[in-house]
Structure 1
Amino acid sequence: MNFYDALQLDPAVLKRKIAACDTTREKAYYWSAMAIRSALIVGFAIVFISVLSGLFGADNTPLAVALFCMMLGIRFVHFEYCIGDSLIALAAALAILVLAPCAAAVLPPLLLIPLHFAAFFALLCITTQRPEMGNGGLYSFAYVYLTGNPVAGEALLRRWLLALVGYLICGAILFAKHRSQHKTTRFHHLMRKFRLSNPLHLWQLRMALGVSLVLSAGQVFHVERFMWMGFACASLLSEYPYSGSTATRFWQRIVGALAGSLAFYALYLVTPEAFHPLMGPLGGLCLGFCTDYRYKTALNCFGALMLGTGLYGLQGAVLLRIADTVLGVTFGLVFATLFHHLAAVRWLPAPEPQQTAAQPRS
């Protein structure tokens, strides 16, 4: 495998190759690929987001972040239907990401749940036909992040223009990489097959309803940085295949948030002030080596807390991150349990009884 191809691989794949290597030189080759891959992604992210933020305003940085993540994901993961419908779906997804979060900021509380549910459910239906490929987590992150950072007036106009630029970039990548995929499959073909007895569609419904409820609660009760609650809840519910139990990820998220927040706190105190702006990129670099959900959760705290510290101070940001995470995953755990026992068991087909081989007579 040449070095360029190695750079395209996910860290999990690279680690499997490292484990299979027989020589130290081969291991070093793949470790180098992983390190350079991580550095390139972080470096490109800084340049890409900085340029778009400079052109369209700092208040639209959240959309620039979302577009960067979409751009990386869309190279490898398509929408599972023909390119014509996929390009229309991409435009619809970006329209939802711009319009729904800004509308939620001005609508009365009674309309928040219907708005979030309709918008987020539609977003999942058009982008996530194979959740195991990561689109569910990607687009839920974008929706929650933008809901926590709405804009209005001139900034909203600039956000629409940025979305147009993002559409041209992501659409070009989508066309170049996936135009020959699923040529005969139309979006409406997939929608005709929608059944709540299908675990995929049940997962979409649970994800949309749970995230819409937690976001609405955060907005109605004016929870500080409520999008952190949304991230935690969405991460819990995004696990696929569908399962009625989310307890394992519940504890992993809490442990990861505690470890990441405390590590950030300690590192912030012992390092010089000039180093503090680098803590977010440092977390991003380390993420490039991670395959475990707990470690990813911990390192994601660095970027979030770097921004939060400027708003709430170090101690306030750390406590808020932990509190919002606990609230989000607790809500997600309770919701997932109720959803499974009150709804999912009615729709999912009963498991087939296991047949045992007949025992010979003695």
Structure 2
Amino acid sequence: MTFYQELQLNQAGSKNLIRHAESRREKLRHTLIYLLKIVITLAFCMAFVIAFSTVFGGENSIVGVVVLLCVMVFRNADLGIRTSHGAVSLILIFGILAFGPKLANASGLFGEFLVHVLCIFGLTFLGCHNVVMSNQSTLVLGYLLLYGYDVTGRAYLMRLAGIGAGAVLTVLVYCRNHRNQVYKRDFRSLLQEFDPASTRTRWQLTVTLGVASVLLLAGALRLPRAMWTGIAAMSVMVPFDTDLKKRVKGRIPGNIAGGLLFLIIYSFFPETVYSCIGIIGGIGVGLSVSYGWQAVFNSLGAMSIAVGILGLPGAVFFRMLNNAIGAVYGLVFEKLFHRSVARLSAG
């Protein structure tokens, strides 16, 4: 395996190479390449988001994060249909990201619920036909981040420009990397294969109604950072049941551990370290293979932003609470929804 090929491996692939190295020298080489890959990735991500914020405004740095996620995901993941038709789907997806979160924030509690239902279903329908790719982790996450970091006035106009630029960049990368893919399915196949009795469509409806309803619950309870409940529910409601319980077991303890780590950093380290918490979290995610450890380090960046709004105790408490609510709700909703559908089908 060449140096470049090894840089393309994910965490599990790199750690597998390290684990099965035949000599100390080989193990050291694989370890150094793995660490270099994390540094390169983190540096690129930071440079991309900073450049995006410089062009489209600091209020829209979250758009840079969403665009970066889309580019990095869709350079490898396809949509399961012809490449040209997949490009059309991506344009429609970015249209939802541009206007859906804003419309949801401008609506009342139940109006917001309806917007969430339409937008989240649109994202899963257009982008998650190939469920193995787990594209909901990017698309629904992006929608919830834009919903949670809403802007108005000129900042929103710049947000539209940033999302438009992101759409062009993502489509270009997608078409270039998947131009040789051969699929019989096209855009019409998405409509033709929509079937509430199928596992795929049932999962799409589960994610849609589960995330939308937990956001409704969070709104009714007036929980701050309500998007955290939606992200937690989305992350555990995966297409395969065996993974769902593992994610719930990993996410709740992971966020508790992340909260405690965040408190330790704020209590025992100088203030100069605080601005590096997001970077520490990014490095930790890069080194993590298990979902539980990823949850630990993902929570650091989220709390470092929220602490300026909710204060230290509030950021930690609501990060833990909202994630616990979202994860448990996602598990319970998935079970109840599938039982209801099964009864209706049997009846």
Q: CA deviation at 1:318?
A: 0.7
The aligned amino acid for 2:239 is Y
Q: 1:196-235 to 2 correspondence within 5 Å?
A: 196-235=196-235
Task: Kindly provide the CA deviation profile for residues 78-131 of structure 1, in whole angstroms up to 9, marking residues without a partner as x.
Answer: 111112211111111111011111001111223222211111111111111223
Q: CA deviation at 1:347?
A: 5.0
Q: 1:123-272 to 2 correspondence within 5 Å?
A: 123-237=123-237, 239-242=238-241, 246-272=244-270
In structure 2, runs of 5+ residues without a counterpart are none
Is the CA contact 1:246–1:336 (under 8 Å) kept in the aligned structure 2? no
| Residue 345 to residue 135, structure 1, CA distance change in 2 (3 Å) | farther
Give the equivalent residue in structure 2 for 1:332. 330
Give the equivalent residue in structure 2 for 1:87. 87
The aligned amino acid for 2:19 is A
The 2-side partners of 1:132 and 1:23 are apart by: 35
Is the CA contact 1:80–1:182 (under 8 Å) kept in the aligned structure 2? no
Q: CA deviation at 1:12?
A: 0.7
1:315 pairs, out of 296, 313, 316, with: 313
Q: CA deviation at 1:345?
A: 5.8
Matched, 1:52 2:60: no
Is the CA contact 2:110–2:216 (under 8 Å) kept in the aligned structure 1? no
The 2-side partners of 1:131 and 1:170 are apart by: 20
The 1-side partners of 2:345 and 2:301 are apart by: 40
Q: CA deviation at 1:183?
A: 4.8
1:341 pairs, out of 336, 339, 342, with: 339
In structure 1, runs of 5+ residues without a counterpart are 349-362
The 2-side partners of 1:250 and 1:111 are apart by: 29
Q: 1:12-161 to 2 correspondence within 5 Å?
A: 12-161=12-161
The 2-side partners of 1:59 and 1:40 are apart by: 25
Q: TM-score, normalised by structure 2?
A: 0.94
Q: CA deviation at 1:185?
A: 2.6
The 1-side partners of 2:186 and 2:121 are apart by: 19
* Greater radius of gyration (CA): 1
Task: Kindly provide the CA deviation profile for residues 259-302 of structure 1, in whole angstroms up to 9, marking residues without a partner as x.
Answer: 11101111222111111111111110121111101000011011
The 2-side partners of 1:300 and 1:112 are apart by: 27
Q: CA deviation at 1:247?
A: 3.7
Q: CA deviation at 1:54?
A: 1.7
Q: CA deviation at 1:137?
A: 0.9
- Return 143-152 or 128-137, whichever deviates more: 128-137
- Whichever structure has more helix as a proportion of its residues is 2
Give the equivalent residue in structure 2 for 1:300. 298
Moved over 3 A (4+): 245-248, 344-348
The aligned amino acid for 2:293 is Y
The 1-side partners of 2:35 and 2:325 are apart by: 35
The 2-side partners of 1:296 and 1:183 are apart by: 34
Q: CA deviation at 1:320?
A: 1.4
Is the CA contact 1:232–1:328 (under 8 Å) kept in the aligned structure 2? yes
Is the CA contact 1:202–1:344 (under 8 Å) kept in the aligned structure 2? no
The aligned amino acid for 1:63 is V
The 1-side partners of 2:134 and 2:31 are apart by: 24
The aligned amino acid for 1:275 is V
Is the CA contact 2:117–2:208 (under 8 Å) kept in the aligned structure 1? yes
The 2-side partners of 1:345 and 1:26 are apart by: 57
The 2-side partners of 1:347 and 1:197 are apart by: 8
Is the CA contact 1:128–1:135 (under 8 Å) kept in the aligned structure 2? yes
Is the CA contact 1:89–1:127 (under 8 Å) kept in the aligned structure 2? yes
The 2-side partners of 1:170 and 1:33 are apart by: 27
The aligned amino acid for 2:325 is L
Q: CA deviation at 1:7?
A: 0.9
| Residue 125 to residue 180, structure 1, CA distance change in 2 (3 Å) | same
- Aligned CA-pair RMSD: 1.8
The 1-side partners of 2:120 and 2:286 are apart by: 28
Q: CA deviation at 1:209?
A: 0.9
Is the CA contact 1:127–1:135 (under 8 Å) kept in the aligned structure 2? yes
Q: TM-score, normalised by structure 1?
A: 0.91
The aligned amino acid for 2:211 is V
The 1-side partners of 2:293 and 2:155 are apart by: 35
Is the CA contact 1:214–1:328 (under 8 Å) kept in the aligned structure 2? yes
